Amino acid sequence: MDTHPEAPPLVVTDTHKNAIRIIALDDRARACGIRAGQTLSDTRALAPGLACHPADAASNRALLMRIAAWCERYTPLVALGMEAQAQNGAAPDHGLFMDITGCTHLFGGEAALIADLEARLLAQGFHVRLCLADTPGAAWAMARYGQARLIAEGGHGEAILPLSLSGLRLQPSLVASLGRVGLKTIGCIASLPRAPLAARFGTRLMQRLDQALGRETEAISPIMPVAELSTERRFADPMSQHDEIAHVIAALASGIIEPLEQRGLGVRHCRLRLFRVDGHVASLSVQTARPLRNAAMITRLFEERLASLHDDLDAGFGFDLARLDIVHADPFDAGQSELMAGQTAGHGATESHDALVDRLGARLGLGRVQHFVLADTHIPERSFGRQPLAHAGVRGADKGNSALALAPDLPVPCDLVTRPLILFDRPELMHTIAEVPDGPPLRFRWRGVFYEVARSEGPERIACEWWRDGRGARSRDYFRVEDRQGYRFWLFRHGLYGRETSEPSWYMHGLFA
């Protein structure tokens, strides 16, 4: 960590074993004799003008996530280090794992990739220790307890033998137990009989040793899911203008079409990532209502997405890398076009409809573009619902593939014409006068206005759904009534007189045109 010559020594503290201790420090603090693990009172005796800052785990993790996102410029397989190492008093690991298998040739080889990574992080103000090895365990040990930056292929086993046992990512209590019997380095246990070691110190010790030496495979868990397809552009001169970004998006979209065609896929979810030279990564995602394989339409969706941003895309000092990832793709069934120009095969309206859904989804979010569907219930206010069009699965050949709680393929009720055009979300309480308790109303008052009933039709009885509303739920008797002015209403009596209640209530539920 670089500091100005006039700056005081800088340390970061945290509470450990009921004391405030040093967990990180700069070079000036080391020059004063301060070491990690010391108490704050001891360090102030060595450096009275010490600059002390408490640890902020949330901010540290957020910063590490930003660095991890930026490191995806080298490989999509970037994983966090061992956060579980905070157990038993050990400080959490703020490192990253990167699987660069098959990526090094893009940067001129392994040494060139390491040099480029280190130079860029140093330019951003970070001090970094890194190592490239055949196994994650060997790279982790050498980066923290060794000096080598690049271990030759097959040489990781011999390279890590002189290192401390802490390099095996063991709990500090286990490392201390091994040290008490004289086992201090990895080489001390590498050639010892395995069974006695496992019996005394546990199988975790042997597992970590095998992972570091490559005897046992260790997979890393990437932070972001690996894209099915990806294409990118790198720039010697960073771009910052909106027109340049739009041109690059069009070029990336055009480059992804051929791989999609070869696989018979269409885009459903794609993500644009713009890597800024100062380490910031801007990410924009768009989703489609159907599999899409049209570069112009993909470009247009991203333009809509950019237009929907509340603030302009901050280019800073410019973007030097742009990547388009296909996060999710579905099989694409291409429709056959008509032989004669000007004719359609019935797909034009559907394509225009889906294009509109995609454009609205790019601006508002695809989950907000919804449509009405029928539901499997006979209660009027529950007989329909809304669901995102992108998840409907009811367009074209996907009509029978819906797996939703709602039932979009239910037949339209034959008495739908008897339902009012306007249905209230919640029935509204009203006061009525009826000739007999279980008869139609003669007059009623609703929203402060009296109405005289000229004619009525009903009742239409709708039973309660006791499995939802409980055993105490009441039935409804619906009436279609018309007042002397010609207005028509849909109202119901709640509860069967003499069987479910002695004083049934009346509710207004809808209006006819």
Characterise 202 by phi-psi region: left (phi > 0), alpha (psi -120 to 50), beta (else): left
**pTM for this one?**
0.65
Q: Which pLDDT does position 447 carry in this prediction? A: 93
Distances (CA, A) of 453 to 149, 158, 504: 91, 97, 19
- pLDDT score of 5: 56
Q: For the purposes of burial, counting CB atoms within 10 Å of the CB of 213, is it exposed (0-12), middle (13-18) or buried (19 or more)? A: buried
Structural domain spans, the chain: 10-54, 75-213, 229-334+351-362, 369-400, 416-511
Name the token pair of 398.
Answer: 């996907």
pLDDT at 405: 42
**What pLDDT sits at residue 247?**
92
pLDDT at position 74 = 92
d(CA 39, CA 408): 67
CB neighbour list of residue 507: distance below 8 Å, 6 or more residues apart? 427, 428, 429, 430, 491, 492, 494
Under-70 pLDDT residues of the chain: 1-5, 82-93, 310-312, 334-351, 390-417
Write out the two tokens for 408.
Answer: 């979009």
Q: Give the C-alpha distances (Å, rounded to integers) separating 125 from 24, 143, 146, 321, 416.
A: 16, 19, 23, 20, 69
Give the tokens for residue 407.
């039932």
pLDDT of residue 476: 93
Rg (C-alpha) for the chain, rounded Å, is 35
- At residue 506, the 3 state secondary structure works out as strand
Within a 13 Å sphere around the CA of 174, how many CA atoms are in the beta-carbon half? Answer: 22
- Rounded Cα gap, residues 172 and 160, in angstroms: 19
In degrees and rounded to multiples of 5, residue 390 shows phi and psi of: -65, -25
Taking Cα atoms as reference points, which of 142, 116, 112 lies closest to residue 129?
Answer: 142
- State whether the Cα torsion 461-466-469-470 is positive or negative: positive
Fold exhibited by the domain 229-334+351-362? Dna Ligase; domain 1 (3.30.1490)
CB 427 within 8 A of CB 492: yes
Q: How far apart are CA 487 and CA 475, in angstroms?
A: 26
Rounded distance between C-alpha atoms, residue 77 and residue 221, angstroms: 8
- In 10 A of CB 466, how many CB atoms? 10
